[in-house]
């Protein structure tokens, strides 16, 4: 296992739809194990493969941040089956460090995905779990959370990010 470098916004890999996984092979298993280690080290509750520069539809979520192994969720080619309700909570992203904003999202989501054994499973998430599932699936579609902000808030946030990049507080890897 290895900790990989987390790609920062606005690297193009974060703004591009990732490709479906076609085979669960040794490389994919290594990617997932590195993603889990990277997420726990950050620390964060979720990570998508394009956040470590790999444009494949894989995400990991662990709301316990490594404290409870049973909470680790590996999602390969996840698809949203249903959405319900609404919630507005503060949200951040390991690829946009230092920025948190209130984001409106559905309160409940049902997702179908494939696990590392190649089996299809369903997961229903509420509250923070719904938010994490939607945030990570957004990543796989090339969408970062600030795209959910109002146009004004979005442009203010972009300015804040440009300033952080300019002052060297964080560098956009690969750009
Ligand atoms: Zn994120």
Query: Any idea which architecture 12-167 has in CATH?
Result: Alpha-Beta Complex (3.90)
In the chain, where the domains are located? 12-167
**What pLDDT shows up at residue 46?**
98
CA-to-CA dists, residue 31 to 39, 48, 66, 84, angstroms: 12, 11, 17, 32
86-126 pLDDT, tens digit per residue, is 999 999 999 999 899 999 999 999 999 999 999 999 999 99
Distance (Å) from CA 139 to ligand 1 centroid: 7
User: Of all residues in the chain, what percent carry a pLDDT higher than 70?
Assistant: 97
Pairing of strands 120-126, 108-114: antiparallel
Distance (Å) from CA 9 to ligand 1 centroid: 10
Q: Known catalytic residue: 104?
A: no
Looking at the predicted structure, is the pLDDT value of residue 173 above 70? no
Looking at the predicted structure, is the pLDDT value of residue 7 above 50? yes
Give 42-103 as a DSSP string. Answer: TT-SEEEGGGGT--BSEEEE-TTTTS-GGG-EEEEEEEEEEEES-EEEEE--TTSTT--EEE
Distance (Å) from CA 144 to ligand 1 centroid: 6
Give, rounded to a whole angstrom, the gap between the first and last alpha carbons of the chain: 26
Q: Are 10 and 172 in contact (CB under 8 A)?
A: yes
């Amino acid at each position: 296992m290895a900790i990989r470098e987390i790609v920062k916004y606005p690297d193009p890999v974060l703004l591009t739809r990732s490709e479906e996984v076609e085979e669960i092979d040794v490389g994919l298993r290594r990617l997932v194990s590195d993603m889990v280690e990277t997420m726990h080290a950050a620390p964060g509750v979720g990570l998508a493969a394009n956040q470590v520069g790999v444009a494949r539809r894989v995400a990991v979520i662990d709301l316990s941040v490594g404290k409870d192994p049973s909470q680790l969720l590996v999602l390969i080619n996840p698809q949203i089956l249903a959405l319900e309700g609404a919630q507005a909570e503060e949200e951040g992203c390991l690829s946009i460090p230092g920025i948190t904003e209130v984001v409106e999202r559905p309160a409940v989501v049902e997702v179908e995905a494939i696990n590392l054994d190649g089996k299809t499973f369903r997961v229903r998430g509420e509250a923070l779990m719904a938010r994490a599932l939607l945030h990570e699936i957004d990543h796989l579609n090339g969408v970062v959370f600030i795209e959910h902000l109002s146009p004004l808030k979005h442009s203010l946030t972009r300015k804040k990010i440009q300033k952080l990049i300019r002052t060297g507080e964080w560098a956009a890897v690969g750009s």
